[in-house]
Structure 1
Amino acid sequence: MVTQVSRSNVNGVRVYQADLPGVCCGTLVFGVGKRNEPATLSGITHLLEHLLFRLMEPISVEHSAVVSDNSLTVYASGSADEVGQFFSDFTRAIGRLGEVSEQDLKFEKRIIRIEHPNNFDEPSTGLLTYRYGLHGVGLANFGAPSTMDMTRQEVTDWAARWLHAENTSLAFSQALPATLDLRLPRGPVAHTEQPEALLETPALVASAKNGVALSLLVPRDDVDLLQIALRHELFIGLRHRRGLIYDVGTFTTPVDGELSELVFVLDPEDKHIDTTVRLVSETLRRIATAGFGKAATDSARIHGSAQAQRTFAGLDYLDRLAEDGLHGWSTRSPEQGLEDATEVTSEQLTGVLVGSVASVIIAFNEGTSLSKRTLKSLALSVTHLTPWQPVDDDFPQPAASTAQSTWRAKGGKRTLIVTDTNLFSREAGRTRRILFEDIVMAGDRSCGCLTLVDSQGRSIEFQADNWKRLKSLKRRLIEILDPALVRSFPKH
């Protein structure tokens, strides 16, 4: 059955509406997400969402919201009148952000810390960050440690920049009710630029994350079927045949209108990480050469058809239309998705993998040393995610410095030298440096620690346990950096 979707406009907001049976469901989509937030404001859309709901309390309608890499999406269900009134109230709350008190702000920050303690406390990275750095979609995996430092004015300014009619769309599963009266300011259509990849691929990355992960860039229309087929091959090979893992987790993230990132997360014990990395690489090479097996192809056909059939209910398709439309992306119809799944072949799936394999990143826990056998099999050197970069032989060495610009490690011979442009580290005749112009955020913790984050998402923390005269080092670094980059981080 073809889902009939009508398109209209309510006070400048694009509306996608279908007449579907059952409870009325609505989805309000704003074209702002993690990828739009600079590192110093990472998490601000999530904080904004919490504050808007707080202004609306008490709320009787079933509702939820999620901030993804591309959007802030608000869901509601109930009668058509109830859902329409809920979204009307939500848009009016945007104009009431000036009513948020400092107590409200602190309360919601505390709730967010309970909700996502790791993201709230630390800068974090993921495979998209490894690939793109802290630019565009690379910000999707970044943590939100500066949330505690955000002000009411910053939240209000962020809403004014992004939450306007031209950057909003609505999906509605029944006839539009009279209670639906969306009131948003007008503004320019938002454009999101896709950054250039910073990491040369194929790549092998030592990561702070546990286990092993595999990342590929895949055409958006092909990502679902490839995900099913490749997960089948990895699961059979690594769990059923070798007993190295429990499961294969999968995630997809749209990069732009053409590509999605496809991620597989594997959970071997530490002692099996080396073997798992090697077998993942060998699995990709085997499939690229011999093709996907019948079982993997059948799995893609069956599960892909089931996924496509579920979108015939209309809700998923409506939501996709609403979000894709904001970004100017095309949306594949459920009918086309079902046809692609039922007719997929091993040759098609193999062709997609072969076309994507040059983008591969394999990440493994940095506590593991890969064997010579594995490194030879992959024919790749390991990329270590540290802001400390080696100094070339022809680079001018830092001059002998005064005590005021030199800091020494506790219990070691490592020395830090601070100049106006660089932070140098010397140890055992080896010199490395951090270029200050590469720093995009500095986290000042009340415990006395200081965290530096560079444009590629790599971070380093200076702690009192490790450095003599840390207070003066911290003070000197903060003096050099742009004040706009210095944010308060939570205390450890």
Structure 2
Amino acid sequence: MQRELIDGVPVLWAETPGPLEATLVFGCGVRDETFRTLGVTHLVEHLAMSTLPRLHFDHNASVDLALTQFTCTGRPEQVADFLERVCSALCALPLERIEREAGVLEAEGSGVADPTTAELLSIRYGTAGVGLASFGGPGPDRIPVEAVQDTVARFFHAQNAALVLTGAPPAGLRLPLPAGERPARATGQPVRQAGPAWQQAQVPGPGLALSCDLNDQAVFLAVQLLRQRLTEAVRHREGLTYDVGGDVVFVAPGRGERTICMEAREGQEQRVTELLWQEALRLATEEAPEAELAEEVEAAREVLLDPRAVEYELMEAAAELVLGDAPMRGRARLDLIEKLTPARLREAFAAALGSALLVVPCDIEVRPRRADGTELPQFSCGQGGELPTVGESSARP
């Protein structure tokens, strides 16, 4: 991995086969918004992209919970032109297009996370930070122009950006972004008890969230093993779901959420939920057979040593620069994974399960229990205390 500085923006690159790919990354996403301004980062992205002429090479832009990315693939001169145009547009957004681009956002209707993951995050973190994932907010057409201007000033500058390239920087590359101050971010504290607990919600199927250190490779491998066991049980053995999905969600440096999400065949949501929790408890209480652990280690080895993983590591390094996180690189991760034992895996997953949040569809009846047989507590609406006495009293109108 090579590193340069162009116009104050860190540029990370490595030579890989194929055409030149570029990703301009900003440390700004939905987690940096408020309920009142939900969608403002996506609106900024649309406004910037609306200034581009018709381009005859692959290009796109996206916003997720933590990052905004502008991407393109082409000849070096095409890449350089795209990046310079995007940076120039961010310096002078066409604010007169806000109403039209808000309409486009309304039509697009995209989310920033799997709906079950989004619900888990909102239950855990409330209506702030990553908890905003499941909310729509007042609507794109109600985002004030002041919110757009404030977002650009706070986040879209050279000190909150990084560029990833799959080859050497093109000759004459310019990134004309303004200077700025590194934005301060909230630490993303949960508003609910850590867990374990469960809750009903409007989700397509059950989901499980574990709050953990994202660099803990024992938890990573345990979650991979759990997904594989669920795939065998829920899909191959009982035919109740198509896929066992999941997400990794950055919350703050050194901390995040790992989720497992499953849709269920109609009428089988309860059975899928039971299997999810049953397999999670088994992994936390019983050591995995050596052969099963070896299979997961080999799967991790194939991914981490694949030459195509270079691009993934470049993106992780860019995210580290703009978010202040410090993810492990491939070889260091693999060294730790190869030393894991069944006992260490069980111990790590049992600890992570102490933060478990299980979400289930509203129309099913479940009574999940802990490993000791006691019932798992169910989240419910908070019970407020007495109203404060300060203030004026008046008769009922």
Correspondence for 2:345 among 345, 349, 359: 349
- Identical-residue share of aligned pairs (%): 25
For the pair 1:401 / 2:389, whether they are aligned, the reply is: no
Offset at 1:256?
A: 2.3
Deviates more, 1:145-154 or 1:337-346: 337-346
Paired residues of 2:285 and 2:371 also in contact (CA < 8 A): no
**Structure-2 change in CA distance of 1:171 and 1:202 (3 Å):** same
Correspondence for 2:301 among 298, 301, 305: 305
For the pair 1:170 / 2:179, whether they are aligned, the reply is: no
For the pair 1:95 / 2:88, whether they are aligned, the reply is: no
Q: Which has the higher strand share?
A: 1
**Amino acid in the other structure paired with 2:356:** V
Offset at 1:145?
A: 4.0
Larger radius of gyration: 1
Q: Which residue of 1 aligns with 2:126?
A: 133
Higher relative contact order (CA 8 A, sep 6+): 2
Q: TM-score, normalised by structure 2?
A: 0.87
Correspondence for 1:106 among 91, 99, 108: 99
Q: Which structure 2 residues correspond to residues 334-373 of structure 1 after superposition, within 5 A?
A: 334-370=330-366
Rounded Cα–Cα distance in structure 1 between residues aligned with 2:99 and 2:371: 49
Which structure 2 residue ranges, 5 or more long, are not aligned? none
Rounded Cα–Cα distance in structure 1 between residues aligned with 2:30 and 2:40: 9
Paired residues of 2:27 and 2:322 also in contact (CA < 8 A): yes
Rounded Cα–Cα distance in structure 2 between residues aligned with 1:286 and 1:319: 35
Instruction: Give 3-state SS (helix, strand or coil) of 2:77's partner.
Output: helix
Q: TM-score, normalised by structure 1?
A: 0.71
Q: Deviation digits for residues 370-389 of structure 1, max 9, x if unmatched?
A: 359999956123223x5xx5
Rounded Cα–Cα distance in structure 2 between residues aligned with 1:15 and 1:7: 6
**Structure-2 change in CA distance of 1:267 and 1:322 (3 Å):** same
**Amino acid in the other structure paired with 2:214:** R
Paired residues of 1:278 and 1:374 also in contact (CA < 8 A): no
For the pair 1:265 / 2:261, whether they are aligned, the reply is: yes
Rounded Cα–Cα distance in structure 2 between residues aligned with 1:344 and 1:43: 42
**Structure-2 change in CA distance of 1:199 and 1:153 (3 Å):** closer
**Amino acid in the other structure paired with 1:195:** G
Q: CA RMSD in A?
A: 3.0
Rounded Cα–Cα distance in structure 2 between residues aligned with 1:338 and 1:371: 38
Q: Which residue of 2 aligns with 1:18?
A: 14
Q: Which residue of 2 aligns with 1:433?
A: none
Offset at 1:125?
A: 5.2
Q: Which residue of 1 aligns with 2:150?
A: 157
**Structure-2 change in CA distance of 1:339 and 1:394 (3 Å):** closer
Which structure 1 residue ranges, 5 or more long, are not aligned? 403-492
Q: Deviation digits for residues 111-165 of structure 1, max 9, x if unmatched?
A: 222222689xxxx952111111122222234334421212344322321121111
For the pair 1:284 / 2:274, whether they are aligned, the reply is: no
**Structure-2 change in CA distance of 1:87 and 1:237 (3 Å):** same
Q: Which structure 2 residues correspond to residues 212-251 of structure 1 after superposition, within 5 A?
A: 212-221=206-215, 222=217, 224-251=220-247
Offset at 1:241?
A: 4.1
**Amino acid in the other structure paired with 1:180:** L
Paired residues of 1:232 and 1:299 also in contact (CA < 8 A): no
Instruction: Give 3-state SS (helix, strand or coil) of 1:90's partner.
Output: helix
Q: Which residue of 2 aligns with 1:435?
A: none
**Amino acid in the other structure paired with 1:352:** A
Rounded Cα–Cα distance in structure 1 between residues aligned with 2:25 and 2:179: 16
Paired residues of 1:291 and 1:346 also in contact (CA < 8 A): yes
**Amino acid in the other structure paired with 2:396:** S
Offset at 1:361?
A: 0.5
Instruction: Give 3-state SS (helix, strand or coil) of 2:234's partner.
Output: helix
Paired residues of 1:255 and 1:261 also in contact (CA < 8 A): yes
Q: Which structure 2 residues correspond to residues 320-339 of structure 1 after superposition, within 5 A?
A: 320-339=316-335
Rounded Cα–Cα distance in structure 1 between residues aligned with 2:154 and 2:109: 25
Q: Which residue of 2 aligns with 1:189?
A: 182
